[in-house]
Amino acid sequence: MSKREVVILSVGGVRFVTRASTLQQFPESKLARMLSDDGHEFKLVNGEFFVDRDGTLFTYIMDFLRTLQVSLPTDFSDYQRLQREAEFYGLYPLADLLSQEHLLKPRLEILEVRFSLQEMQAFFRIFGSCSTTVETLSEQITVFAGQQSGQSWNSPFPSQKPLVPLPLERPSHHDMVFQCGTDYSAGDQFVARYVSIKPDNRKLINGTNVLGLLLDTLLKDGFRLISTRTVSSEEKVECYSFERMRRPPGLTVRMSQTPGSSGAAQAKRSQVQKG
């Protein structure tokens, strides 16, 4: 029986097809002992192992055996039931990870965009509760600067002169500052700043267009616009507030061989969280 490559299980009426090696990831578990005729709680009926347990929760058990990682949907709430199922199958490393419920639950993420339009320039400041999101967004945004002669705010094309990319201002890990538009320099010379937001390749100089592209980028990234307000009517500062449920990184179990364990795999909890 242990030499079977493909194993079929019927768990609570839900059918699963997997490899024997997947079920043997943890040799001391009931699923591994089932294949060596040591599992007395499972019946073999017409070539399928019948398991009288929750079939829906077993989906997450199988995902863990295949990936050695706990990664649950954002709307998942049955942590205690799934932990109980893991304990039933003898998958104690999984039960241990599920006990860290606070690390597995999704977190509400807040992001705020402040926009100010002053004559021929537009100023942006982005605040985020998650520094990783702000860092990722800063890698998508590039500001280009160059000298222009006699061109105005609404000029549709960048100057033919080379544009120099400028670093974004990062007052802290949780916010960034940048601007676009034209600024009078000397004579008929203007300093022009264009903004590009990946994956869009356009270089935009009009602040309203940049704002529209920025908001659209956030919406496509899963954020939801929850409010708009005017922070300062005198300085024309507008604030756009977004939120989203941020899926937590998956908790991972590492498998390692230890001396004197007769080749059995020993599970160790990984302190590193992987997405």
Strand partners, 144: 165, 194
**Banded model confidence at residue 253, pLDDT cuts 50, 70, 90:** confident
Rounded to an integer, what distance in angstroms lies between the CA atom of residue 193 and that of residue 166?
9
Q: Using one digit for the tens of pLDDT, what is the confidence trace for 61-94?
A: 999 999 998 888 877 889 999 999 999 999 999 9
CB of 143 closer than 8 Å to CB of 194 = yes
Q: How far is CA 129 from the centre of its chain?
A: 14
Concatenate the DSSP letters of all residues of 227-254 into one string.
EEEEEETTTTEEEEEEEEEEPPPEEEEE
Looking at residue 262, what is its pLDDT?
Answer: 32
Lowest mean pLDDT among 32-41, 45-54, 105-114, 123-132: 32-41
Given a cut of 60, whether residue 274 has pLDDT beyond it is no
Q: Using one digit for the tens of pLDDT, what is the confidence trace for 163-197?
A: 899 989 999 999 999 999 988 765 567 789 999 99
Residue 224 burial (10 A CB sphere; 0-12, 13-18, 19+): exposed
Given a cut of 80, whether residue 26 has pLDDT beyond it is yes
Strand 6-11 to 48-51 pairing: parallel
Q: Mean pLDDT for the chain? A: 83
**Banded model confidence at residue 1, pLDDT cuts 50, 70, 90:** very low
**Alpha-helical segments (H) within 89-145:** 92-98, 101-104, 131-140
Looking at residue 180, what is its pLDDT?
Answer: 94
The candidate with the shortest Cα–Cα distance to 182, out of 211, 219, 163, 155, is: 155
Strand partners, 47: none
Maximum C-alpha span of the chain: 91
Domains of the chain, CATH where assigned: 6-105 (3.30.710.10), 109-150+159-246 (no CATH)
Given a cut of 60, whether residue 153 has pLDDT beyond it is no
Q: What is each CA distance from 47 to 1, 30, 90, 105, 225, in whole angstroms?
A: 11, 18, 23, 38, 53
**Banded model confidence at residue 250, pLDDT cuts 50, 70, 90:** low
**Banded model confidence at residue 264, pLDDT cuts 50, 70, 90:** very low
Only one residue has tokens 């807040």, namely: 110
Concatenate the DSSP letters of all residues of 111-136 into one string.
EEEEEEEETTEEEEEEEES-HHHHHH
Given a cut of 60, whether residue 254 has pLDDT beyond it is yes
Tokens standing for 219?
């919406």
Q: Name the pTM for this structure.
A: 0.61
